[in-house]
Amino acid sequence: MSGKLVDNDDYPRQDIDVYAVRFARNRIICLQNDHKALMKLIEDGIHDVHTAARNKRDSENSSQQTSSEQIQDLQMAFLQVNELSPLSPAENAGLRVGDEIIRFGSLNIENFDNMQSVANVVQHSMGQSIPIIIRRGEHIHHLNLIPNIWHGRGLLGCNIAPIHKR
């Protein structure tokens, strides 16, 4: 990149293609400038992402300072397992008859409208894990349910029904 292209008498060197070397040097310099510009854009983007994450975390921290009543509402079950088929995806996930569902994927007591919303979550999660939070007696359990086709009816192999609606 910095070697001389002329000899001691200031004539072009005969052992190299001066035009090709100058062209290659120019191309490398242009690419280096493009690289610097892209790295600057990436750096600015990273700063923006971290600023947004910090703002989100700060807003979540302020919203987490909720009353104990709101926290209690989020622990309320809205679905209950009424039936469970043997060897079904629901049984494989660890569900039992009588389990009360506090959270089913993105659904909880706050945003649950009807059983169609549960069906939508199941249909869109076929073959993928749905995180669920259940209450079994006095204990809270976190399970992963994978809706899938099996030898029985439906994708879950259980019957769930609403138990509480706001």
Q: Of 98, 107, 123, whose CA–CA distance to 166 is shortest?
A: 107
Residues 40 and 102 occupy one common structural domain: no
Task: Count up the domains in the chain and report the number.
Answer: 2
Query: What digits encode the pLDDT tens for the residues 120-149?
Result: 999 998 899 999 999 998 889 999 999 999
Mark whether 54 and 97 lie in a shared domain. Answer: no
- If asked whether residues 121 and 153 sit together in one domain, one would say yes
Shared-domain flag, residues 132 and 58: no
Q: Same domain for 22 and 76?
A: no
Length of the chain: 166
Each residue's pLDDT tens digit, 70-125: 445 457 889 999 999 999 999 999 999 999 999 999 888 888 888 999 999 999 98
Same domain, 58 and 74: no
Instruction: Give the residue numbers spanning the domain of 123.
Output: 70-162
Q: Which residues contact 68 (CB under 8 A, 6 or more apart)?
A: none
Q: Kindly state whether residues 80 and 142 are assigned to the same domain.
A: yes
Q: How far is residue 77's CA from residue 108's CA, in Å, rounded to a whole number?
A: 8
